[in-house]
Amino acid sequence: MPVEPNHEECARHSKCPSPLPVHNGALYKRSFNESFEETPMFVAVLTYMGYGILTLFGYLRDFLRAWKIEKCHNATERGEQKDFVPLYQDFENFYTRNLYMRIRDNWNRPVCSVPGERVDVVERYTEDYNWTFKFTGRVIKGVINMGSYNYLGFAQNQGLCFLIFFVFRFNLLLSVSFRYDTIPVSLFFSSLQSVFLCNLDIHEELESLVARFLGVEAAMTYGMGFATNSMNIPALVGKGCLILSDELNHASLVLGARLSGAPIRIFKHNNMQSLEKLLRDAIVQGQPRTHRPWKKILIVVEGIYSMEGSIVRLPEVIALKKKYKAYLYLDEAHSIGALGPTGRGVVDYFGLDPRDVDIMMGTFTKSFGSAGGYIGGSKVLIDYLRKHSHSTAYATSMSPPVAEQIIASMKCIMGDDGTSLGQDRVQQLAANTRYFRRRLVEMGFIIYGNSDSPVVPLMLYMPGKIGAFGREMLKRNIGVVVVGFPATPIIESRARFCVSAAHTKEMLDLALREISEVGDLLQLKYSRHHFVPLLDRPFDETTYEETDD
C-alpha cells in the first residue's frame, strides 16, 4: 500500500519542501524519510563568531606578510610583470591562505593501498604550518575507510573483479608504476583513438550490457564521468532551450549547463513546489522578449546528492515532467548500484519505469570500482549523441581493462556470473546504511539525508572542529572525509561518511564507538531529539534490525 512521504522532520529546514498535498502520496510505493534538522541557534552564533575571528586574524597575518614580518608562502608575481593584468587575485586567495591552510593536513592524504574497506595511509608532517609536507617513512596500516565511494566493495586487488587478469588480452600501450610493494597504483591502457575511430568489441559488449542493466533501448559509455555530463548536456540543449537545475547539482552538471548556452533557472533542492512554479512560468511566459515557446525544457537532477545524502523525489519529478511536457536528465553517479532491490539505482528504488526518464546518466567510479560514465535512453537519443557529443568526437575511448572491470562487476550485480554475490552485496549495503545511520542518530549527532542513502553527512558546523575531527579520527585508525566552505554553505561544515558493503558489522561498531568518543571530546552531539539508546540490544546478523531476544 502506498505510504505518504514523511515530511514532518525536514519541513522545518530551509532545503526541504513544505509537506506535499495528500494525493502525491500515491506516487510512492515505499516510505520516504529524510531529515535535515535545523541548526541550533547557539551553534550558528558560535560558528559565525569562529569565522569572524579567523577572518580578523587573517587580515592581521596578511599585514605582517606585507611588512615582511611573517614569511609569505603563497604564489606571487614577479616585479617585472607589474604592468600586466594580475594573474593571481590576492583577495580571492584570502580563504586559502588564512583558513584552508590551517586544516590542509586533512586532505590529500597519500594512500598506498587499494581503497577497500581498509587502507594504508602514509604518515606525514609539516614544519611550515601545512604549506608543505614531509614523509616520516611510517605507514599507518589498516585504517578503516569511511571516505571512499566503494559502495559495493568492488575496489579490490583480488577475486572476481580484479582487472589485472585481463591485462594481456589487448596489445596496447601499458604504463605501470609500483609503490610500497602493493598492486599497481597507476595502470593505464588506451586505444589512443576517439570513439569515432576506435570502438572495440568489448566496448559494444559493455554498452549492450549497460542498456540491459538499466532497462533502456541503448546506452553509450565514456572514459570520464565528469565529461559525460559537461560534454553531453551542450549536445542536448542550446539556444532557445531552458534548463531547470536543482540548486545542489554537481559541478559537472553546472558546467555542462553553462557550456550549452541555454538559460538556466535554479529551483530549491528537492522542492517540488519550486520546480512546478518554474515550469509553469516557463510555459506561460515563454522565452524572454519574444515570448515564443521554449524549444525544450530540460529538468536536471541527481539520484543521490553527494553532500547532502538526500535522494531525489523522482516520482514527483516524473509527474511534473509529464504534466508540463518537459524532458528529464537524471544523474545517477552515486545511486546506480547503491540503491534499489536489484542495485539498478533510484528508478529501481522507487519501482518506476526507466522509460519515464529521458536521459539516464551515471558513472562507473563508485559502485563498480572502475572509471568512466554512461548515457542511457532511447536508441534515437544514443544515435544522436554518437554524432554530436564532444566526448564522442574528441575524447579517447575507454580502455579495455577498465571496460572489462565494469562488465565483471555489472554481471556480478545482475547475477549473470552464476552467483548471488552481487545481490548479497546490494542487500548488505542497504543493511549497513540503515544500521550506521540509526546508530549515529541515537548517539545525538545531527545527520542529514535519506535513511536509505549510503552517503551520511554528520554536521560539524564550527570551523575549528573540521580539522580536529579529521585528525582525531585518524589517530583512532578511522579514515574520514571532512568538508567545509566553499564545498558546503559556510555554516554547514560536516564530516561525510560513505558506507560500503565491504564493511563488516564489527568495523561499523568500532567506527561508531570512536565517532561517539570524538563526538563527546569535541562536543558535536547537537541534536535536540532524545532517543532511547539501543546500542546494547541484539541485532539480526543479516538485516541489523532489533530482535526480541
Q: What is the mean pLDDT of each run of 10 residues along the chain (549 residues)?
A: 41 41 61 90 94 94 89 70 68 84 93 93 93 95 95 81 47 37 42 63 94 97 94 96 97 97 97 97 95 97 96 97 97 97 96 97 94 96 93 84 92 94 96 96 96 97 95 97 90 96 97 97 88 48 49
| Amino acid 89: pLDDT | 67
Contact 396, 244 (CB under 8 A): no
| Amino acid 278: pLDDT | 98
Does this model's pTM top 0.85? yes
Beta-bridge mates of residue 333: none
| Amino acid 523: pLDDT | 95
- The correct answer on CATH 3.40.50.1820 for the domain covering 186-418 is no
Per DSSP, the three-state class of 177 is strand
Per DSSP, the three-state class of 412 is helix
Q: What is the Cα–Cα distance from 9 to 57, expressed in whole angstroms?
A: 39
Give the start-to-end residue ranges of the domains of the chain. Answer: 55-98, 106-182+423-543, 186-418
CA geometry: angle at 111 spanning 372 and 222, to 5°?
A: 5
| Strand segments (E) across 191-291 | 218-222, 242-246, 264-267
| Amino acid 222: pLDDT | 92
CA geometry: angle at 376 spanning 375 and 382, to 5°?
A: 80
Q: What are the two backbone dihedrals, phi and then psi, of residue 89, each rounded to the nearest 5 degrees? A: -90, 115
| Amino acid 265: pLDDT | 98
Q: What is the CA radius of gyration of the chain?
A: 24
The third-level CATH classification (topology) of the domain covering 106-182+423-543 is Aspartate Aminotransferase, domain 1 (3.90.1150)
| Amino acid 29: pLDDT | 80
Q: What are the two backbone dihedrals, phi and then psi, of residue 3, each rounded to the nearest 5 degrees? A: -115, 130
